Chain A
Amino acid sequence: MKQKILFCLFFFSSQYLANAQFNFSEFNLGLRLQKTQNLYWENGLSLDFSNDFLLNRKIHLKGSYVSSSLGSAIGSNAIHQESFIVGAEYRIRHLKRLQGLVGLNTGYFRANYEEDMFKILPHESMLLSVETGISYHFDAPYAFTLSTGYNIINGNGISTPGTLFPVFYQFSMFYSLKH
């Protein structure tokens, strides 16, 4: 239930932000495909926005929702898990088509261990990650980002979820609602 509420909040807030009178210079909504090194595909949605007041659009604020339920756990025995991510990234060559990016993210992770006997294991955690990659802007309204990140908080067999792995790669395809 909690995850559905968070998902709805994420979706409606993106709609609100897109339509509000904030005059964002850029507002992009897209699909995010994420692969964790030696673990799952976790896919979902991503939004990204920026404005001239954010260092002339050198800073982008973003939010993402990814879940193995939309990836590796479809039709398999993979564990269902999801991440709610918010972050900021700094764009290098921000006025060019090909841009570099470095970012810092945080958020919330939870895994569904299903059976009661496994619920004693840690299954939720705060997220904290660093990320770097590239962004390419086609003729509006399309853009994509390709990046790799490192979850600083990751599973250790004791106090954090075991399926929270450190290294991930993500590819996002954006459609610009405002540019």
Chain B
Amino acid sequence: MKRLCIYLLLTSMLLAACNKSPVIDDVTMLDGNQIFDASLNHPENYLASSYLANPTENQLNTPVIIASHGYSASTFEWDELRVFADKNKGFYVSQVLLGGHGRTYQEFKDATWKDWQQSIKDEYEKLSKMGFKKIYLAGSSTSGALLLNLIKSNFFSSYTKPKGIFLIDPIVLPSNKSLTMIGLLGPVLGFTTSELEEGEKGYWYVYRPQESLKQLLAVIDLTRRDLEDGFSLPQDTYLKVYKSIKDETAEPVSALLIYKGLKTSKGANIDVEMVESNLHVFTRLKGRSNVSSTDEALQLKTFTEMRNKMLE
């Protein structure tokens, strides 16, 4: 009888642990049901397919770059590129919100990595069908893996080929290796909590459900295995990886895996630049409290280089 009681107690404790839900502050957290990514209500301020719904011939010949953010982030991550484009002209920015992101915790929890990726595919398809001739892509962190998967799966073969792809701190291997144990620890933990700086609140999820962490691990693990087998870029598509040499989120060695596994259509090496930074997604400075002049210079240099490439 005593043994049975202990067994029941342990089982109920385990079940209780498995049903953990975070306490969400709707007023301040993106996880809640009051704050949503601004692109959901005002796509005309973010998506080129919306704000250039009836493009002129001149606009169709102007480069447009689809910029997509990382896991648990939002369109906020590429706001500074849009500001740079507005100031310097010459290209359009289309800020894509990944599927399942920028909404409630439950929607984030329920989304798969293919849902995340679908938003990029939708915007690319629209711009291609509208007749844009110079489409570029920029992906930060997890979007790096999502874009590599699009290349590997030949998604672009049905559309206008992308002119170029820029990956900022793409993740193929996680820096925090406890992610590899999410299958074992996830059901017990339920979710993990991330520490946000004051300026980041409302733009990133505070809570990361174990279901979505499993999706993150699934997509980066698939990408790693695809890179081990090797694959090529679409014909005449340029790609450059920018990778911080110290990064507590995306292992810097991710850049090497991409360099070894991805070649141009002619079999040449892709471009990689290992940058002197300890920031994850070093092109996003907005919302951070400690930004140095070196960080600002690096951001400007990278945006300028991306713009120059698009205007070649």
Contacts and interface: CB of A to CB of B under 8 A. Distances in A.
A136 to B, nearest CB: 25
B227 A77 contact: yes
- The residue in A38, A76, A114, A156 that gathers the most chain B C-beta atoms within 10 A of its C-beta is A38
A115 B173 CA distance: 18
Nearest to A166: B177
A165 B172 CA distance: 13
Interface string B243-263: 001111111111111011100
B215 to A, nearest CB: 14
B274 A37 contact: no
Interface string B275-303: 00010000000000000000000000000
Given A156-B176, A157-B251, A38 B221 contact: yes
Nearest to A165: B177
A117 B274 contact: yes
A120 B243 CA distance: 12
B256 A118 contact: yes
A3 to B, nearest CB: 19
B228 A163 contact: no
Interface in B205-258: 217, 221, 224, 227-230, 245-257
A78 interface: yes
Contact of B247 (A72, A76, A120, A157): A157
Contacts of B160: none
- The residue in B230, B245, B247 that gathers the most chain A C-beta atoms within 10 A of its C-beta is B245
A79 B256 contact: yes
Contacts of B38: none
B175 interface: yes
Given A157-B246, A165-B180, A166-B180, A77 B230 contact: yes
B272 interface: yes
A155 B228 contact: no
A134 B62 CA distance: 65
Contact of B255 (A111, A114, A118): A118
A81 B217 CA distance: 22
Contact of B217 (A38, A78, A117, A120): A38
Contacts of A77: 227-230, 257, 260-261
B5 interface: no
A155 B177 contact: yes
B181 interface: yes
Q: List the 4 closest A-B pairs by CB distance, nearest first.
A: A157-B175, A162-B253, A162-B251, A77-B260
Given A77-B261, A121-B245, A167-B181, 20 more contacts: A37-B181, A38-B221, A38-B224, A72-B228, A76-B230, A79-B257, A114-B256, A115-B259, A117-B272, A118-B255, A118-B256, A121-B252, A156-B248, A157-B175, A157-B246, A157-B248, A158-B247, A158-B248, A162-B252, A166-B177
Interface of A: 37-39, 72, 76-79, 111, 113-115, 117-118, 120-121, 154-158, 161-163, 165-167
